[in-house]
Chain A
């Protein structure tokens, strides 16, 4: 704890504030707000009620108007603080609003009724987390289904990506053969073709394969990524050649060299690719939207899109479910980032 506070308040010279300290902290604080502001705003907003989201001016914390049950009214009535004509202030419940007049009632004494101009009343607000934003979509909509679809696509697609990309990278980095550089250039070249260009042809292929509405239609077309091949190849090029030759002398087959020697040593690069792949797959939107048309095969991102109707958008659900979709990616990052340290490949040499 003291280490943390020491770190948070570190200065050029102990006990004194230099102007560069202030400048540095201002800059850092600006960065924090810039990076985390939108995320914090999203999380806080996801706990607001539908009315709370639409109110102006917006509040940072999820506040909602206090409500009270008044005998004679089937619904709970919203509470307001009203400035009376004589200047005194009273807390009244609003029964209904007619134009610029509001009909109010004293909740302690329902027989007392008042007509109050609406600019004379201020809503009574309290801090309240609208957890129903989270529970309702999970209960009412097939959100758990979307979640499991997303998890399936992400996990399987990432595994396939890692496997075939690393095999391609192995061939392109370890072997010498005619046309090796051409092959590599062609792989890299596909980076220049955006998905929107090949959307229709790939869709046609998928239709002919009868994969529409299957999750495999989402997984397979993007399994081999040029970025992944390039990333892994560049890393494998740095592995000492002696290791591979030593393995050849030790009677390891090519598959064994790949699986037992190169793969464990390429772990840092594989972790990076895994993180990328998980994020791509989890956030993928356009392609699943094209090939998944049935609700039961939706992934999370497509499911979220369903909250955005033509006429109205259910912002409170949309925000809450966005938070849900963000969490796994954040967790993946937290756990995998420690692998992205310098490789251990050279420690056995020299």
Chain B
């Protein structure tokens, strides 16, 4: 088993900068997810770790030893490709067994006709067959070993690709969006399987995805990347609860976080739509900031929005989305120069709103995120929760 250490990895394709000095330390047996929008460099980074791409500068170390001089197959890493990259002309068994055939047999033992002269060949073949069988059993592929990839369903192909990675018993598994070609239901199922596989194998997993749900549900830690840099590295709940920047806040969480423009009044107090909050941050008066409010922190309120009451702003329903267990409500803010907001609601609450009448919305100030004009997180004074908020909620 092995740790993976990346030190200031940089990579450009011609004039395009793809990675700008990425530092990452991945612990032994950790499940780390690289998440980010398309083109953020996460796939390039995983390919550099795999040895399929050479970095312009910086170093990769696996298990404490530098692997920069090693080729892909010498690094004891295995990769699962987004397209699975199964060899279409080989059976499932041959697909899974190929890494073993390549590493255990000498050239002479693989040559046509000449291989019949080798005495150990049969023994090696039997060994390979046993190992392939063991992996196939773990992935419930035993009955498919003689089929070709074209005869398999998406989920089965995915498992074959996993099997081909597992059979080498690598120290590090690299997965490049392995679930993105599956249908939604299977994806949920495979998420669980992958997480269980990780637990069972105890190997280090580095997982690339653009799907924040996959990142949140499976990982020990998540590295959110954008434009070739790691924006934030932390546990899934850290990223969700304390996003380091507006980009992280926007990317993590569904529905996307509500962002409202606000300003700083004297002594760092935040004013939203001209009304002061009990939140305060360090900053100069008059600076414009952005207030991030998660959909679940926003709710319907009684009464008219006005000074002192719980209701903060009036809004008009634009659309309801029925998710079954709950509704997502999209509102336009009435008379405000601000983008619309979304909130979660139970079916009963959702039934009370319609497009014709305006409703009042309120939000939980303790769950707000404050970002400065450059998009960086500003910590509220008093260490997060502002005590003076409490009476207001009562």
Give the chain A neighbours of B71 by CB distance below 8 A.
248
> How long is the Cα–Cα vector from A240 to B84 in the complex, in angstroms?
11
In-complex Cβ contact of A250 among B148, B157, B164 (8 A):
B164
B141-181 CB contacts (< 8 Å) to partner A = 148-150, 154, 157, 164, 168, 181
Would you give the 0/1 interface string for A245-271, flagging 1 where the beta carbon is closer than 8 Å to chain B?
Answer: 111111111001000110011000000
In-complex Cβ contact of B150 among A247, A260, A344 (8 A):
A344
Q: Residue A38 at the B interface, CB < 8 A?
A: no
Return A237 CB to nearest CB of chain B, in Å. Answer: 16
Most A C-beta atoms less than 10 A away, residue of B73, B85, B148: B85
Q: Residue B81 at the A interface, CB < 8 A?
A: yes
Contact B150 A248 (CB under 8 A): no
B90-146 CB contacts (< 8 Å) to partner A = 98-99, 102-103, 110
In the complex formed, the residue of B with least CB distance to A259 is B110
Given A264-B89, A348-B87, A348-B88: A248 and B99 interface contact (C-beta under 8 Å) = no
Given A248-B52, A250-B99: A350 and B154 interface contact (C-beta under 8 Å) = yes
> How long is the Cα–Cα vector from A348 to B110 in the complex, in angstroms?
24
Return B105 CB to nearest CB of chain A, in Å. Answer: 11
In the complex formed, the residue of A with least CB distance to B78 is A249
Most A C-beta atoms less than 10 A away, residue of B82, B98, B181: B98
Q: Residue A337 at the B interface, CB < 8 A?
A: no
Would you give the 0/1 interface string for A222-255, flagging 1 where the beta carbon is closer than 8 Å to chain B?
Answer: 0000000000000000001011011111111100
Contact A249 B73 (CB under 8 A): yes
Q: Residue A308 at the B interface, CB < 8 A?
A: no
In the complex formed, the residue of A with least CB distance to B176 is A242
Would you give the 0/1 interface string for A132-174, flagging 1 where the beta carbon is closer than 8 Å to chain B?
Answer: 0000000000000000000000000000000000000000000
A264-300 CB contacts (< 8 Å) to partner B = 264-265
A302-350 CB contacts (< 8 Å) to partner B = 344-350
Contact A350 B89 (CB under 8 A): no
Contact B83 A349 (CB under 8 A): yes
Give the chain A neighbours of B110 by CB distance below 8 A.
256
In-complex Cβ contact of A251 among B83, B99, B150 (8 A):
B99
Contact A349 B84 (CB under 8 A): yes
In-complex Cβ contact of A245 among B85, B88, B150 (8 A):
B85
Most A C-beta atoms less than 10 A away, residue of B77, B84, B110, B148: B84
In-complex Cβ contact of A265 among B72, B82, B89, B164 (8 A):
B89
> How long is the Cα–Cα vector from A183 to B83 in the complex, in angstroms?
31
Return B42 CB to nearest CB of chain A, in Å. Answer: 16
Most A C-beta atoms less than 10 A away, residue of B50, B99, B181: B99
> How long is the Cα–Cα vector from A350 to B110 in the complex, in angstroms?
30
Would you give the 0/1 interface string for B54-77, flagging 1 where the beta carbon is closer than 8 Å to chain A?
Answer: 000000000000000001110001
Size class of the B contact interface (CB-based, 8 Å): 20 to 34
Given A245-B52, A250-B99: A348 and B81 interface contact (C-beta under 8 Å) = no
> How long is the Cα–Cα vector from A345 to B86 in the complex, in angstroms?
10
Return B50 CB to nearest CB of chain A, in Å. Answer: 7
In-complex Cβ contact of B87 among A248, A253, A261 (8 A):
A261
Q: Residue B249 at the A interface, CB < 8 A?
A: no
Give the chain A neighbours of B73 by CB distance below 8 A.
248-252
Q: Residue B317 at the A interface, CB < 8 A?
A: no
Contact B102 A252 (CB under 8 A): yes
Give the chain A neighbours of B72 by CB distance below 8 A.
245, 248-249
Return B142 CB to nearest CB of chain A, in Å. Answer: 20
Q: Residue B35 at the A interface, CB < 8 A?
A: no
Contact A240 B89 (CB under 8 A): no
> How long is the Cα–Cα vector from A243 to B86 in the complex, in angstroms?
7
> How long is the Cα–Cα vector from A302 to B62 in the complex, in angstroms?
67
Given A240-B83, A249-B72, A347-B149: A265 and B78 interface contact (C-beta under 8 Å) = no
Return A238 CB to nearest CB of chain B, in Å. Answer: 13
In the complex formed, the residue of A with least CB distance to B94 is A260
Give the chain A neighbours of B85 by CB distance below 8 A.
240, 242-243, 245-246, 348-349
Contact A251 B88 (CB under 8 A): no
Return B283 CB to nearest CB of chain A, in Å. Answer: 49
In the complex formed, the residue of B with least CB distance to A350 is B181
> How long is the Cα–Cα vector from A240 to B355 in the complex, in angstroms?
50
Q: Residue B298 at the A interface, CB < 8 A?
A: no
Contact A348 B102 (CB under 8 A): no
Contact B89 A344 (CB under 8 A): yes
A-B contact pairs, 25 of them (CB 8 A): A240-B83, A242-B82, A242-B85, A243-B87, A245-B52, A245-B81, A246-B81, A247-B98, A248-B71, A248-B73, A250-B73, A252-B73, A253-B102, A256-B110, A265-B89, A344-B89, A344-B150, A345-B88, A346-B88, A347-B88, A347-B148, A348-B85, A348-B148, A349-B88, A350-B154
Closest 6 CB pairs of A and B: A348-B88, A347-B150, A348-B149, A242-B85, A251-B73, A246-B85
Other than the given A260-B87, A345-B88, 18 more pairs (CB < 8 A) read A240-B85, A242-B81, A246-B164, A248-B52, A248-B71, A249-B78, A250-B73, A250-B168, A252-B73, A252-B98, A265-B88, A344-B88, A347-B149, A349-B84, A349-B85, A350-B83, A350-B84, A350-B157
Binding site for A on B (CB under 8 A): 50, 52, 71-73, 77-79, 81-89, 98-99, 102-103, 110, 148-150, 154, 157, 164, 168, 181
